[in-house]
């Protein structure tokens, strides 16, 4: 299987090249030229194996330049039971009533308590193998922009991995205290963490500019290094996410919640669009999905886009209690546009140029019709997020984080407006303990403690739930990283960290 750039179809690379390079020379994202197609018999076969077996099958169909042994080795290492607490890294909790059937796909049982672990535990294995195939002994310099969860998951995945250096940039006031603590205390000799004076979009734009800066790339090449990415712009980050939608469907069949062939809906709390895009790929491979419910917080640029066909980032930016969704430039939407335009790279390049220069673009009627056919968009502000957390806990005894609550709220809006009672998989993306202040405030009327870890303990006592061990251990770890820089200083910070100013 080969991969094209969304902005230049004449760019054709292997899977290993797409993963090691991360982003195309002209700034486009790599997409597969074709998707493997799965029949009902294929789904039945997937249902008869475990998560690792499903991952090996699906990834093998996309990574044709990897051997079966390489894929098996990567999957077995990434999804080891000791990392996720069981042989099923993403169990489902079911909440069912006469009006709704919600299947909360818990993607946060990994080492950093966020859904990013599902991809970032395997990406280091895929990337290092890709580098050996395409770049020889060059060192991979991994740059990451994070709105909270990607940063820690990438740092944990790549710490002390031979042949890599990783630098994470995050908005200084745009992550939760627990997320900041996770990154600031990160162990590893090849890691660096830097806060920026700006928001996530500033960090993401800054990283993309560094990726495509010819002078900086030459300096790296002269020192036997090259850039790569651990954000979901990297195909090696997005591919593993396809697996868990297939696995959720198989588990629902095996548990008697649906019959093989029944359609489901998928609801995803969405910022950068990668998680919901993975489900879109799964549908196009043959997974029976009827509708994609795209849930935003107050930064509702995607809601407006789905409803109007105009993507406009020129709007107020909100810092919310669901910070991983505080995004106005959703990078992976570019991949969706490529597919909905019939792989029209020129049109996608035009959209992206307009977004960069004018802050907005509008798709044509045909693309808008395709968008509305598959997607439904809704949003939820902080007040309703807190209300949803409270209701879920009091009525269902289910403790949700601030991002999962957004998805639940928007799903309920969708169900109420459409009357659609199709069983729905809701991506539950983080442990509630990563956002202890907001979650504790939602389920308790008592005065909140002032210390983050006191809040964590109070939440555990109030709800009789267990604090994830990696989060509990943070209290006693040494803070290693406290640097803050301006956005325009990011290139110098990168070169300085590598010692090649």
Q: Is 499 left (phi over 0), alpha (psi -120 to 50) or beta?
A: left
In whole angstroms, what is the distance from residue 11 CA to residue 28 CA?
10
In whole angstroms, what is the distance from residue 169 CA to residue 172 CA?
9
In whole angstroms, what is the distance from residue 20 CA to residue 17 CA?
5
Kindly state the tokens that stand for 387. Answer: 């209300």
From residue 51, alpha-carbon distances to 13, 71, 248 in Å are: 29, 14, 9
Kindly state the tokens that stand for 390. Answer: 């409270």
116 is catalytic: yes
DSSP-assigned letter for residue 114: B
**CB-based contact 19:69 (threshold 8 Å):** no
In whole angstroms, what is the distance from residue 402 CA to residue 380 CA?
11
Would you say the C-alpha torsion 442, 383, 273, 185 has a positive or negative sign? Answer: negative
DSSP-assigned letter for residue 23: S
From residue 106, alpha-carbon distances to 109, 169, 221, 406 in Å are: 7, 27, 41, 15
From the candidates 52, 57, 116, 208, which is the catalytic residue?
116
Nearest partner of 300 among 285, 310, 290, judged by Cα: 310
For residue 498, what are the contacts with CB-CB under 8 A and spacing of at least 6? Answer: 141, 165, 220, 223, 225
**CB-based contact 326:320 (threshold 8 Å):** yes
Other beta carbons less than 10 A from residue 385's beta carbon = 29
Start-to-end CA distance of the chain, whole Å, equals 38
**CB-based contact 401:78 (threshold 8 Å):** no
DSSP-assigned letter for residue 473: G
Would you say the C-alpha torsion 479, 480, 485, 491 has a positive or negative sign? Answer: negative
- Catalytic residue set: 116
């Amino acid at each position: 299987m080969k991969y094209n750039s969304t902005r230049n179809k004449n760019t054709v690379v292997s899977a290993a090249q797409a993963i090691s390079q991360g982003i195309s020379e002209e700034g486009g994202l790599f997409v597969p030229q074709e998707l493997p197609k799965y029949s009902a018999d294929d789904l039945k076969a997937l249902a008869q194996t475990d998560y690792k077996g499903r991952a090996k099958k699906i990834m093998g169909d996309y990574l044709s330049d990897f051997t079966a042994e390489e894929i098996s080795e990567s999957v077995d290492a990434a999804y080891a039971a000791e990392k996720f607490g069981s042989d099923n890294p993403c169990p489902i909790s079911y909440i069912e009533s006469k009006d709704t059937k919600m299947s909360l796909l818990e993607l946060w049982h990994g080492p950093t308590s966020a859904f990013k672990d599902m991809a970032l535990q395997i990406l280091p294995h895929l990337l290092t193998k890709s580098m050996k195939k395409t770049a020889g002994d060059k060192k991979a310099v991994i740059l990451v922009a994070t709105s909270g969860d990607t940063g820690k998951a990438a740092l944990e995945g790549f710490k002390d991995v031979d042949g890599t250096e990783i630098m994470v940039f995050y908005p200084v006031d745009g992550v939760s205290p627990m997320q900041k603590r996770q990154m600031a205390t990160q162990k590893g000799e090849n890691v660096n963490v830097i806060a920026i004076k700006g928001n996530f979009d500033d960090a993401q734009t800054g990283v993309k500019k560094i990726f495509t800066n010819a002078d900086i790339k030459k300096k790296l090449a002269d020192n036997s290094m090259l850039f790569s990415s651990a954000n979901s712009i990297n195909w090696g980050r997005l591919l593993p996410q396809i697996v868990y939608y297939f696995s959720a469907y198989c588990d629902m069949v095996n548990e008697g919640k649906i019959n093989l062939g029944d359609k489901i809906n998928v609801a995803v709390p969405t910022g950068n669009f990668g998680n919901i895009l993975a489900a879109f790929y799964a549908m196009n491979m043959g997974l029976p999905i009827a509708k994609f419910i795209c849930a935003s917080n107050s930064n509702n640029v995607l809601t407006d886009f789905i409803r109007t066909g105009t993507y406009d980032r020129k709007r107020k930016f909100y810092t919310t209690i669901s910070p991983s969704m505080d995004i106005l430039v959703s990078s992976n939407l570019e991949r969706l546009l490529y597919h909905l335009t019939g792989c029209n790279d020129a049109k996608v390049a035009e959209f992206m140029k307009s977004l960069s220069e004018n802050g907005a673009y509008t798709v044509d009627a045909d693309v808008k019709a395709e968008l509305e056919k598959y997607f439904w968009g809704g949003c939820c502000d902080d007040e309703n997020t807190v209300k949803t957390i409270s209701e879920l806990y009091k009525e269902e005894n289910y403790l949700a984080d601030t991002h999962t609550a957004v998805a639940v709220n928007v799903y309920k809006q969708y169900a109420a407006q459409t009357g659609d009672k199709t069983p729905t998989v809701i991506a539950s993306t983080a442990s509630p303990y990563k956002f202890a202040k907001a979650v504790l405030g939602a389920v308790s009327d008592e005065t909140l403690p002032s210390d983050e870890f006191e809040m964590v303990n109070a939440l555990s006592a109030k709800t009789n739930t267990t604090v994830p061990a990696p989060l509990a251990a943070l209290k006693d770890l040494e803070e290693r990283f406290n640097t803050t820089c301006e956005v325009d200083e990011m290139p110098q910070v990168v070169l300085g960290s590598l010692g090649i100013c």
